[in-house]
Chains A and B, each alone.
Chain A
Amino acid sequence: MGHEHGSAHGHSHTHGHSQTHGHGHPHSHSHDNPDSEPLPPALDPAVPTSELPPAAVDRRRFLRSAGLLGAGAAVLGVTASTGIGSAAASPLGGRGSGRVPRGGYTWLAGDHHIHTQFSSDGQYRVIDQVRHANAYGLDWVVITDHGSEVHARIGVEKVNPDIVAARRDTPDTLVFQGLEWNIPAAEHGTVFVHPGRNEVAVLKQFEVDYDGSPLATAALNEQRAIQGLHFLAGSVSRRRVQDALMLANHPARKGIDSPHEIRGWRDAEPRIAIGMEGAPGHQAAGMPKAYGPGGGRGYYDGSPGPGSFPGYPLESYRTFGGFDWMTSTVGGLWDSLLAEGKPWWISANSDSHSVYADTSVRGENTFATAGRYGEPTYRTAGPNLGSGDFWPGYYSRTHVGATDFSYAAVMDGLRAGRVWVDHGRLLESLDVRLRAGNREVPLGGMLTARRGSQVELVITVVPADTPNWSELLPRLAKIDVIRGAVTGPVGDRDVFTAPRTRVDQTFDVRGRTGEIRISYPLGRLDEAFYVRLRGSDGNRLAPGLLGAAVDPAGPAQDVVGDADPWQDLWFYTNPMWAIPA
């Protein structure tokens, strides 16, 4: 069960070796594999800082201050053969080493849900998306064009050279190839693989055999979705690809991901199906009509249809503080999964198709014949205020605690749940530990300790200290600690409440700047429980859907046609469990 962060990786961090995860897999990724990328400029000591583009300067500062360049660089697998370990470790530009919480992980921001001209509703080149993602500070992205008959036949192959070129052109942003899976009998999902010789072949076969779009209606059943996950797992175990992951996208948008389907994916292949979008993309879609699309935030503006799970309440079709109902409801669906004591993680992505106020238009319609649209052209009609998306990294970020800057490490970090997400760059950095005695685990970890041990939550957070991409400086107002009992496997697989989960404590941090350290005692470890964090700028608060006793000041339901995303910012972390031994 244990994560084998062994000495072979040369990790110097002192924590985490006691953590266990429910996935039951050995780490088989070697960091010196042939697919390792060349050294990104930000990490390359031969490139002077004055020669770096602004995003890379930020990244180098970040890595230095985190102790990940210089003396600490041994943890960076990719640097092992390049001699960077002898580089100077002094922080740059007055950014002290206290700025970024230590702990052996470098937090790589990314986005696993991005469309290009290879989607029937897309527009941009791969390089357009990747360069914007890079400029807005993302370290990794996944290109996820829609599964379709045309994409399976043409696009999935034809997009690959563009992705390979983007890897070369933006070496400090990792670019995965994936696709947006039409999950048989369910919503969309992200599927992506580790780069390598067979990345296209595996994705193509997966799409042909398991995507809901090319498939005949009769094959659109829940079992087919499970078989697709088995196919991905088999592709990894047979070493056709080094790794593969699946996450459910906009899970509550149309009510068609039932609780038992989500549990089914998780339990069928826990190494592959690891989570869901906690916050969907399309976060600009709720901008008022006067200067925006005037739709539902996230394009969550539907109501129950024939494919919907009949048990879901109408609220589930809307977002709350920009987050999906499954995640935003304290004691709701996500908590009901976590209360089983099994991992299921959340992310936050752009779902970028067409960007709010962008000045380009889709190119010539050659989709059916060429598998993609032509090159986008300049929009002479002025900025497009009817689009509801942001560029990757502009608003939504998924931060992954990685052991090095590599494809494998991003996938490992995602699978381990060392993940927190934010909107509008609400936080500069975040480090969370669950501690008992001399043992501790990071986000996503399971801490096992002697029954009766005192358990403590240790939070180190730096609220935003630079403006975000909307040029406003977000102000973190509060941090909520959400705690739930682990009640074990559910009898009814369609359960979507966790009656023993609630907001346990709220820390008011208004006006605080710089690094905030919070040690919060969680008491004696008598029964298994989990904790997760959430925080807000405090602009829009409302009692939770399960009552003020469960969540006195949670996210408010977003108003269709009147949801300015910059005025309602949240961060969420993944959970950590404490298990009495």
Chain B
Amino acid sequence: MSAPALVVGVDVLSETLREVDEVADHVRRLLEHAPGTAVVATHLSRCGPVPHLTVSVALPGADPEAVWRGGVAAVRQRWPRAAVCCGPRSTGPSSTSGGGSVLAAAQGVAAHVGRTSGRLVQFPGSLGLTGTVPLARVVAQTAVDRVEVLGAPCPDDVLLRTREHVRPTWRGGELVLVVEHAAGGVLVPFESPTPTPCCADH
């Protein structure tokens, strides 16, 4: 996170967290030159008629022109109506009438660069957060600056069941992971990998 990275913004008008996570994963695979090095975030956008979610991907040491010709072209091929911002260049519809919006993508880039807001899908150390780990490891071994426990306080040696789904958020420059209590005396990240959808067959 020390060297300035190229941050690419992509908007394909994702409507749910699950949907945007799939898009983010796909975009990362199209852009990332070395596995695990990208920082991938999602952002809320109120550009256009419908609130939606965008993706931003930071690529340490990447060359904007090379990414534009390679990864971005692949993204455009996969989502022809995507809006993409990459360094000084951008492509896509200027409004959200039917496609992603360049403005929304650019706002995601700005939030990523300033770490003002956003929800992290991949971040330094995140690949080590699998299974059940000591909560202390989150701050010690990843880019997460702080863990916040909702509800009752918890002991120092508490365990975090990651559910392979850890999504910390930027708040004023700080990366914060909110966790809550779960069955069995462990903590889990606040965001569930499988939230109950509306009108689900529950």
Contact = CB atoms under 8 A, between A and B. Distances in A.
Interface of A: 119-121, 146, 188, 217-218, 220, 254, 282, 285, 288-289, 293-296, 299, 301-307, 310, 314-315, 317-318, 353-354, 387-388, 542, 556-557, 559-562
Contact of A301 (B15, B51, B195): B195
Contacts of A295: 196, 202
B88 interface: no
Contact of B202 (A188, A254, A293, A317): A293
B122 interface: no
Interface in B8-36: 14-17
A156 to B, nearest CB: 16
B108 to A, nearest CB: 13
Please classify the interface of chain A as helix (H, G, I), strand (E, B), loop, or mixed, using the class held by over half of its residues.
loop
A302 B183 contact: no
Contacts, number: 89
Interface of B: 14-17, 44-45, 49-53, 150-152, 178, 180-184, 188, 190-192, 195-196, 198-202
Contact of B195 (A294, A303, A556, A559): A303
Nearest to B195: A302
Nearest to A306: B51
Contact of A353 (B45, B198, B202): B202
A318 B202 contact: no
B196 A305 contact: no
A301 B196 contact: yes
A451 to B, nearest CB: 43
A542 B195 contact: no
A299 B181 contact: no
Contacts of B152: 542, 556-557
B180 A299 contact: no
A562 B195 contact: no
Contacts of A542: 151-152
B202 A315 contact: no
B151 A314 contact: no
Chain B at the A interface: SS class: loop
A62 to B, nearest CB: 34
Contacts of A354: 202
Nearest to A115: B199
Given A303-B190, A314-B190, A557-B150, A288 B183 contact: yes
Given A217-B49, A557-B181, 15 more contacts: A121-B199, A121-B201, A146-B199, A218-B49, A288-B183, A289-B183, A306-B14, A306-B51, A318-B150, A387-B202, A556-B152, A557-B151, A557-B180, A559-B181, A562-B184
A314 B150 contact: yes
B49 A307 contact: no
19 contacts: A121-B202, A188-B198, A282-B202, A285-B202, A299-B202, A301-B195, A302-B192, A303-B195, A306-B14, A306-B16, A310-B44, A314-B178, A315-B150, A318-B150, A354-B202, A387-B202, A556-B151, A557-B181, A559-B183
Contacts of A217: 49-50
Contacts of B195: 301-303
Contacts of A560: 180, 182-183, 188, 192
A79 B182 CA distance: 54
A205 B134 CA distance: 56
B52 A306 contact: yes
Contact of B16 (A121, A218, A289, A305): A305
Nearest to A317: B190
Contacts of B196: 285, 295-296, 299, 301-302
B183 A561 contact: yes
Contact of A306 (B45, B183, B188): B45
Given A307-B51, A562-B183, A254 B198 contact: yes
Contacts of A561: 182-183
Nearest to B192: A301
Contacts of A121: 199-202
B160 to A, nearest CB: 14
A120 B197 CA distance: 13
Contact of A559 (B44, B178, B182): B182
Contacts of A301: 192, 195-196
A237 to B, nearest CB: 32
A294 B199 contact: no
A288 B184 CA distance: 10
Contacts of B15: 306
Contact of B192 (A188, A303, A305, A310): A303
